[in-house]
Amino acid sequence: MGLFSRKTVTESATATLPGAPSHATTPGTDLSHLTGDYVIDATHSRIGFAVRHAMVTNVRGEFTDYDGKLHLDGGDPADSRAELVIKVASVDTGNEQRDGHLRTGDFFEAEAFPEIAFRSTSTQQIDADTYRLTGDLTIKATTRPVVLNLEFTGTATDPYGIERVGFEGTATVDRTDFGLSYNAALETGGVLIGEKVKLSFDISAVRAG
């Protein structure tokens, strides 16, 4: 079924794994029964980013406060869609001084623009488990199209009876397209901060209702 092309792991197999969910899946089964609405479980998900620093390494960080919802269509993946709202103030790179700078007008200007928003506009199936999700990304009141390369990683019913689906995704954006243009020249040539930002998504979503 494309977007939901996973096959069920047998009970005997899952029983050998301590703490394994009561029902899990791997590639091959028709999962059209998963069609419906889901919300992102932020406690079991991660939205991260990486950007080049001083031309030699990457600084990595994440946003820890966000809400998202998905509509999955197992019969027609093109009808699947996603929305995400991120609280800018939750940016976390592991350095308090740097995080404070990111919240200023040099970068996100968090007080004036407290949220980053994404809304999908189309979903394209690439192969059995990978998809291209195109959507509008809004940062600092500037909206630009972005393409997210997405992999469906499986579905499971956890020990509490909650039905979950998992996704991993990546995208690359140019921060200057959104007005995040602060930089500093290096004495050895080049600039302090790269313009390309690599985004990464590890998503666990639970069925709504």
Strands (E), 102-162: 115-125, 130-139, 142-157
Q: Which helix (H) or strand (E) holds 97?
A: helix 96-102
Domain 34-207: state its class.
mainly beta
User: What does the pLDDT look like over 15-34, one tens digit per residue?
Assistant: 333 333 334 444 444 668 78
53 vs 143: CA distance, rounded Å? 25
User: What does the pLDDT look like over 60-103, one tens digit per residue?
Assistant: 999 999 999 999 998 888 999 999 999 999 999 999 999 999 99
Cα three-residue angle 127-128-134, rounded to 5 degrees: 55
Q: What percent of the chain has pLDDT over 90?
A: 72
116 vs 84: CA distance, rounded Å? 8
pLDDT of amino acid 27 = 44
pLDDT (average), residues 140-154: 95
pLDDT of amino acid 22 = 37
Judge whether residue 115 has pLDDT over 60: yes
Is residue 6 within 8 A of residue 28, CB to CB? The reply is yes
Is residue 66 within 8 A of residue 49, CB to CB? The reply is no
